[in-house]
Structure 1
Amino acid sequence: MNEKNHEQQAGLEMNKGELIERVANECGLTKHATGRVITSVFNAISEALAANDKVKLVGFGTFSVAQRTAREVRVPRTGELMQIPTKKAIRFKAGSVIMDTIRSAH
């Protein structure tokens, strides 16, 4: 068994194509139409985050942008100090429905 099949069987990963197929089957839509909808959803979320807006999907979770402050770190191999610049990071806080689903799966 190759690594990708193992990951799918073990539940470790779902790619965009697999998500599209699953949603298409569940909703009775074509894969093409479903792919366009999912791409549109991802684009809308990305554009909102780029504008520093929060995206709240009740029950699923909240996406937001956080500012990471600049900091100084030491490179373990050389001991040299290095400056890490300020940067933006995407945060996701899971909602109650998704957390309940995850908890009940085990």
Structure 2
Amino acid sequence: MNKSELVKTLAEDYNLSQDEAVAVVNTFFDSVREALVAGDRVEIRGFGSFKVKEYKGYVGRNPKTGDSVKVSPKRLPVFRAGKEMKELVNP
């Protein structure tokens, strides 16, 4: 399922116009995005949680040339499925 399919399903299930459904989906994604950028954790009971994980920098190696490459520290969003979601996927 992609974003447009989610909008279509939401519009059909709750008798919303496409524009209203787009606004709801965008508001949800924007809220999650803003929380993660601020470093907060987002937990949706029965679904899962999102958080930002920080990785330290390190010296890697270019496999093609063998040269050492400095990899900068970075922050990446991480999703962890909740217990109920795991049980649904793995009955």
Quickly name the TM-score band, shorter chain normalised.
over 0.9
**Correspondence list, 1:77-96, <5 A:** 77-96=64-83
**Are residue 54 (structure 1) and residue 50 (structure 2) matched?**
no
Query: After TM superposition, where is structure 1 displaced by more than 2 Å over at least 4 residues in a row?
Result: none
**Are residue 100 (structure 1) and residue 87 (structure 2) matched?**
yes
Shift of 1:26: 1.8
Shift of 1:103: 2.0
- Structure 2 gaps of 5+ residues are none
Q: TM-score normalised to the size of structure 1?
A: 0.80
- Structure 1 gaps of 5+ residues are 1-13
Higher relative contact order (CA 8 A, sep 6+): 2
Deviations 1:58-99 (Å, cap 9, x if unpaired)?
111110011111011111110001010001000111012222
Match of 1:67, SS state, is strand
Q: Which amino acid aligns with 1:36?
A: A
Aligned to 2:21: 34
Task: Tell me which protein shows more helix as a share of its residues.
Answer: 1
Identity of aligned residues (%): 31
Aligned to 1:9: none
C-alpha separation between the residues in 2 aligned to 1:20 and 1:84? 38
Task: Tell me which protein shows more strand as a share of its residues.
Answer: 2
**Are residue 67 (structure 1) and residue 78 (structure 2) matched?**
no
**Correspondence list, 1:12-27, <5 A:** 14-27=1-14
Q: TM-score normalised to the size of structure 2?
A: 0.92
Superposed CA RMSD in Å reads 1.1
